[in-house]
């Protein structure tokens, strides 16, 4: 049970808090993330400003809370894009077989050979900087991984006895695919989707850190870390505390996805 696994329980609490930040940031902070007090520039962490303030006097905790919506929205869209398109590509390759399978997987291999962050940067550079374009870029860079896992599962399922029995009973090819192959091939892909949430958060934040993310002053976790990096020697909280919030969410989602994979493997 989850109550007997304290680290897993803590991971779920971290993720739920991050989701709460994204859904209702006003419940967690009353500060405006876009406006600040220049007189309070680089104020250290205190009871009033939990994460301190940045160079413009903006409350960093408020910016971290409101930044969760940008980062998590882009991550969710990216995972949905990668899951949907990757599953379709992998299903087509594994179920069709032969030349179709070979052709599709060679294209997938090309995408796998390109570093995902580099591919995402190229896509964002072409499409422009926005939350939806970040999501599309990260999603496209992850399609190949989902396609390979889905294909592997499909190849395993189509050789099972119940699939062969369905063919023997005269069930059509597409009916077999939708009734037997697809439902029994998705478990590992769903587990991969859970794992990709953490990777997606890190990818979206990395794009923001490198300047490819949402344009300022819109708060985004990677951008917050980047804005404070030039002052980390004298005002370390400006970069470290938003970075710790990001790291906590990534580690928590990875821990949860690991538990999903263990359950799926049983």
To the question of pTM greater than 0.95 for the whole model, the response is no
Task: Answer whether residue 198 is part of any domain.
Answer: yes
Task: Answer whether residue 154 is part of any domain.
Answer: yes
Check residue 165 and give its pLDDT: 85
94-108, 109-123, 124-138, 157-171: the lowest-pLDDT one: 157-171
Residue 5 pLDDT grade (very low, low, confident, very high; cuts 50, 70, 90): confident
- Domain of 146? 2-22+58-265
Residue 265 pLDDT grade (very low, low, confident, very high; cuts 50, 70, 90): low
Check residue 7 and give its pLDDT: 86
Mean pLDDT of the region 213-226? 87
Distance CA 245, CA 71 (A): 12
Task: Answer whether residue 134 is part of any domain.
Answer: yes
Task: Answer whether residue 45 is part of any domain.
Answer: no
Task: Give the chain as a 3 state SS string.
Answer: CHHHCHHHHHHHHHHHHHHHHHHCHHHCCCCCCCCCCHHHCCCCCCCCCCCCECCCCCEHHHHHHHHHHHHHHHHHHHHHHHHHHHHHHHHHHHHHCHHHHHHHHHHHHHHHHCCHHHHHHHHHHHHCCCHHHHHHHHHHHHHHHHHHHHHHHHHHHCCCHHHHHHHHCCCCHHHHHHHHHHHHHCHHHHHHHHHHHHHHHHHHHHHHHCCCCCCCCCCCHHHHHHHHHHHCCCCCHHHHHHHHHHHHHHHHHHHHHHHHHHHHHC
Mean pLDDT of the region 42-62? 93
Q: How many domains does the chain have?
A: 1
Task: Answer whether residue 41 is part of any domain.
Answer: no
Query: Tens digits of per-residue pLDDT, 149-205?
Result: 999 999 988 888 888 888 787 777 788 888 888 888 888 888 888 888 989 999 999
Task: Answer whether residue 77 is part of any domain.
Answer: yes
Residue 214 pLDDT grade (very low, low, confident, very high; cuts 50, 70, 90): confident
29-38, 93-102, 131-140, 210-219: the lowest-pLDDT one: 210-219
The CATH code of the domain that includes 254 is 1.10.3720.10
Check residue 266 and give its pLDDT: 53
Check residue 264 and give its pLDDT: 57
Mean pLDDT of the region 45-59? 93
Query: Tens digits of per-residue pLDDT, 68-85?
Result: 999 999 999 999 999 999
Query: Tens digits of per-residue pLDDT, 220-256?
Result: 999 999 999 889 889 999 999 999 999 999 999 888 8
Counting other chains too, the contacts that 5-14 makes at CB distance below 8 Å and 24 or more residues apart are: 5/259, 7/255, 8/255, 8/256, 8/259, 10/252, 11/251, 11/252, 11/253, 11/255, 11/256, 12/252, 12/256, 14/248, 14/249, 14/251, 14/252
Task: Answer whether residue 33 is part of any domain.
Answer: no
Task: Answer whether residue 119 is part of any domain.
Answer: yes
Distance CA 105, CA 177 (A): 19
**Which one, of 161, 138, 152, lies nearest residue 187 by Cα?**
152
């Amino acid at each position: 049970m989850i109550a007997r696994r304290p680290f897993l329980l803590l991971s779920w609490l971290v993720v739920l808090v991050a989701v709460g930040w994204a859904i209702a940031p006003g419940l967690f902070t009353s500060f405006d993330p876009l406006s600040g007090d220049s007189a309070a520039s680089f104020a250290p962490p205190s009871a009033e400003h939990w994460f301190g303030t940045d160079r413009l006097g903006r409350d960093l905790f408020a910016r971290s809370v409101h930044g969760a919506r940008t980062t998590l929205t882009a991550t969710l869209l990216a995972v949905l894009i990668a899951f949907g398109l990757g599953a379709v590509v992998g299903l087509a390759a594994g179920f069709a077989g032969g030349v179709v399978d070979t052709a599709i997987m060679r294209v997938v291999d090309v995408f796998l050979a390109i570093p995902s962050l580099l591919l995402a940067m190229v896509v964002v550079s072409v499409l422009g900087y926005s939350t939806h374009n970040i999501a599309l870029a990260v999603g496209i860079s992850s399609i190949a991984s989902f396609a390979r896992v889905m294909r592997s599962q499909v190849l395993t399922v189509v050789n099972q006895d119940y699939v062969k029995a369905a063919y023997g009973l005269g069930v059509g090819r597409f009916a077999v695919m939708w009734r037997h192959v697809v439902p029994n091939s998705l478990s590992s892909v769903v587990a991969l989707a859970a794992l990709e949430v953490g990777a997606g958060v890190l990818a979206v934040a990395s794009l923001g850190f490198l300047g490819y993310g949402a344009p300022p002053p819109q708060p985004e976790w990677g951008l917050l870390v980047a804005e404070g990096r030039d002052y980390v020697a004298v005002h370390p909280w400006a970069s470290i505390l938003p970075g710790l919030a990001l790291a906590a969410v990534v580690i928590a989602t990875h821990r949860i996805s690991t538990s999903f994979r263990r359950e799926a493997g049983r």
